[in-house]
Amino acid sequence: MREDGHAGCRMKQASLLLGLIAFMMAVACTGAPAQTGTQAPVPPEGASGATEQQGFSASPRYFGEFKDLYPQEYATFIAGGVEREADGLVHSHASLRYRVETDEKLQDTGASCLSCKTSEFNQLYEGFGIEAFNMAYNEASGLIVDYFSCRTCHETGKPAEKVGATSVAYKAYAAGFLSEIDPKSAACGQCHNATCDYTRYLVGKDDRPLESFSPYRYGTDADALRKAAIEDGATTFFDEEGGLGLFSLGHPDIELFQGSVHQKAGLTCASCHMPVLQDDSGTATVSHNSSGSPFENEAAMRLCLGCHGDQGVSDTVAMRAFLRERQAGAAALEAAYEERLALLKGLIVARSASHDAAGGSIAAGQGIEALGSATAPDALDYARGAYADAYYYLQFQRASAETPGTKIAHNPTEMRSLLQKGMQRIEEGIAALS
């Protein structure tokens, strides 16, 4: 059974932490050739005050330097703090501290969640090694000056240098994988990936060092990642109603992007999520509202026209309509999928009642590695395995998107393929119980 909390950690006195950790912040922003024509915003008056209105606190040291040295980039970053997404919430990196400090579920996982939420976790790891992952959230958070900062994506603190993954945990897990992908995708992928369960539930729970975990050893596709995670001790959560051992893997955005038509075209995560803006003087500015939707960014939409113009998409208005149509199609496919998945679960629940009444049972966790095979002991177990597979494929292609279909641009071919594979398992499960 998946545990939500951490076991008590063997911590040193908090005062020792302060002596071990030197928070050194360097400010850096990338430069890049400009795409044509979108106006870069002017830094708003009192922009640092806007951070307080949004409820997130940040070090004046960091934001003061950022605003003074890179005012245009700062303005784009802060702009994200007021953008609400389809779920009505602000998910901006600019409000990351507020989001974390008001999310009890994240805090229940302890300090391990901070390994992705702030680059300053790296200093905690330098001081305490693997035990940093076992710290209580409140012990660690009080030592964090900045959450999302320049050091999240820039190692050297110099403009346009060393963009890439900086997370000590992800660099250990994904060393080989990171060497194969563009650094401007790696910078995003260090948090938007399928390995968060390693950080939250596996690392620090025994004597294994970070480098011993290798989630990508079989590949980056859904089946390869699940195989590695199960071997490494990742746990399922148990649905008692149907006797289902279910499993999912975080938010695998970087893994889904692999092999996509957009990656093959030379695009990175930053191409769409951090497009280059241009002011009236022709000065290029890299947008740092990296958590904003490309759909709302004129420069990102214009970038799409380089290829989609050949499909009759004439301007950014038409590009948005084109994207909406694809998103709606993906959402409709998910809806049909979930309807069949619900039917299968209903059959499983009904059969489970009669099966349990007759003395049958199933152990938690069998829904992944044992069930659904040709040698499953009976139709009920086979159907449970089919459901577990279908649930996993649905969650993997969704990549934690709050609204179905919104991430279809990441890899439409692979996302449809996963739903097709899952639908086949659903129909096989239904057939087994019909």
Q: Is-contact 174 195, C-beta < 8 A?
A: yes
- Classify 364 as helix, strand or coil: coil
- Return the C-alpha torsion angle 392, 324, 96, 257, nearest 10: 50
- pLDDT in tens for each of the 434 residues of the chain? 343 333 333 333 333 232 232 222 222 333 333 333 344 444 333 333 333 323 333 433 465 677 777 888 888 888 877 666 555 555 677 777 777 777 777 667 778 888 888 888 898 899 889 999 988 888 887 787 777 778 888 876 555 668 999 999 999 999 999 999 999 999 999 999 999 889 888 888 888 888 899 999 999 999 999 999 999 988 778 899 999 999 889 899 999 999 999 999 999 999 999 999 987 788 888 999 888 888 888 999 999 999 998 888 999 999 999 999 999 999 999 999 999 999 999 999 999 887 655 444 433 334 434 434 434 458 999 999 999 999 999 999 999 888 899 999 999 999 999 999 999 999 999 999 98
Could you give the angle at which helices 379-398 and 222-231 cross, rounded to 10 degrees?
A: 110
The two three-digit tokens of residue 254, written as one number: 């970087």
Q: pTM of the predicted model, to two decimals?
A: 0.81
- Classify 278 as helix, strand or coil: strand
Q: Which residues contact 328 (CB under 8 A, 6 or more apart)?
A: 405
Amino acid at 222: A
Half-sphere exposure of 331 (CA within 13 A, CB side): 13
Which helix (DSSP H) or strand (DSSP E) does residue 356 occupy? helix 316-357
